[in-house]
Chain A
Amino acid sequence: MRELAASLPVPEFETTAFTPLSVPLGEARVAIVTSAALHRPDDDPFTATDTSFRTLAAEDRDLLLGHWSPNFDRVGYTIDPNVAYPIDRLRELADEGVIGEVAPRHFSFAGNQPDTVAEVRLDSGPACAAELVADGVDVVLLTPV
């Protein structure tokens, strides 16, 4: 699988946008954005070529993994959703004061995107960023699946 995935083309970025963390981590609001195609049972499921995202409330625990590709391992997530979406770990870090707080909303994309990722760069990605900014998020943890 690793060999197969490594052979796929990726977009290459010449420069790296960089936003330093402007508050101490212990005061930062942290959100998770995952490419595990998670969605709530009553959401529209992801389609096979979906470039949009779903919104997850911090308290949701019945999320489904909506990938279409048979190449993903679902078993790890079935056993423990935190292995891909570490929402409980984040809550614990907030309780300990390591981070400031857990954001109220988290977001999910499907991992299998068109090679150009144009939609995510120009459309759904910026739309998701606007939601995160609106929620006062400081740090985004990105988890792939």
Chain B
Amino acid sequence: MSTLAHVFEAAGLSTVVLASMRDVVERMHPPRALHCEFPLGRPLGKPADPDFQRDVLMQALALLDVEAPILADHPEVIVADEVPISCPLPARLDDTLAPSVDEARGLRAAYDRSVASRGRTSVGRVLDADGVVDALEVLDHWAGGEAWTEVPLPGKNTIAVAHDIRSYYEEAALELVDGPPPGGRQVEAWFYEETEAGRTLMAARKALREQEAPFPFWFYMAPGHR
């Protein structure tokens, strides 16, 4: 973003950067930056809080009054909460299915409600909702030791498949929890640490590594710190 600020200013535009990382912006010297120590991915700080977002914008736009480069700090710090959300998971319904497949099928109604209420979904990079279930079945086979080169994965691209499975779960979860919006990494933590699908994904990722699949194929199936 700071790079674009330099380019845009040189073209005669006035810019303000909402900066997430203070040490990065200090080195990149954009013309005007409001450093906001908010969870990464949430530069306006709080979803579904228009007043807070408005205040961030007002502080950022105020920097346009200063007639020299400036780096200011938003006074509030929001820490990315990594405690898994408390979200009910479906009971085991069909024990002939892999646990993650059964679980994903059980979450389908919640996922469908999310799509209906939001009118958009992040699922669909390579899989639709039915494909999420089919892909989990294959990942379960990989996790159980079957060769990834022998058992084809619906959607093929492991990174995109992982994205679609996680998005399906995250969107379903948002329909199943009450209260204020979950913090920065709470739903991610829930997915990877508490769901059968998360466990299956991580086990399949480990199996790919052990079967010496190319590094990007397995590494980007989960966030780097996992």
Contact = CB atoms under 8 A, between A and B. Distances in A.
Interface in A1-34: 1-2, 4-6, 10-13, 15-22, 25, 28, 33
Given A129-B11, A133-B12, A16 B31 contact: yes
Interface in B143-192: 159-160, 162-163, 166-167, 170-171, 174, 181-182, 184-188
A89 B184 CA distance: 21
Interface size of A as a range: 35 or more
B193 to A, nearest CB: 15
Interface stretch (B53-61, B88-96, B101-109, B134-142): B53-61
A83 B52 CA distance: 10
A125 B221 contact: no
Contacts of B166: 70
A64 interface: yes
Contacts of A98: 58, 61
Interface of A: 1-2, 4-6, 10-13, 15-22, 25, 28, 33, 35, 41, 45, 48, 61-65, 68-80, 82-84, 86, 88-90, 92-93, 98-99, 109, 113, 117, 120-121, 125-126, 128-130, 132-133, 137-145
18 contacts: A11-B3, A15-B29, A16-B9, A41-B120, A64-B124, A70-B224, A72-B40, A75-B187, A75-B188, A79-B48, A98-B61, A125-B7, A137-B13, A141-B61, A142-B16, A143-B43, A144-B19, A144-B20
B98 interface: no
Given A21-B14, A70-B162, A125-B4, A76 B41 contact: yes
Contacts of B57: 86, 89-90, 93, 141
Contacts of A82: 44, 47, 50, 53
Contact of A142 (B18, B50, B67): B18
A2 B23 CA distance: 11
Contacts of B220: 68-70
A138 B9 CA distance: 10
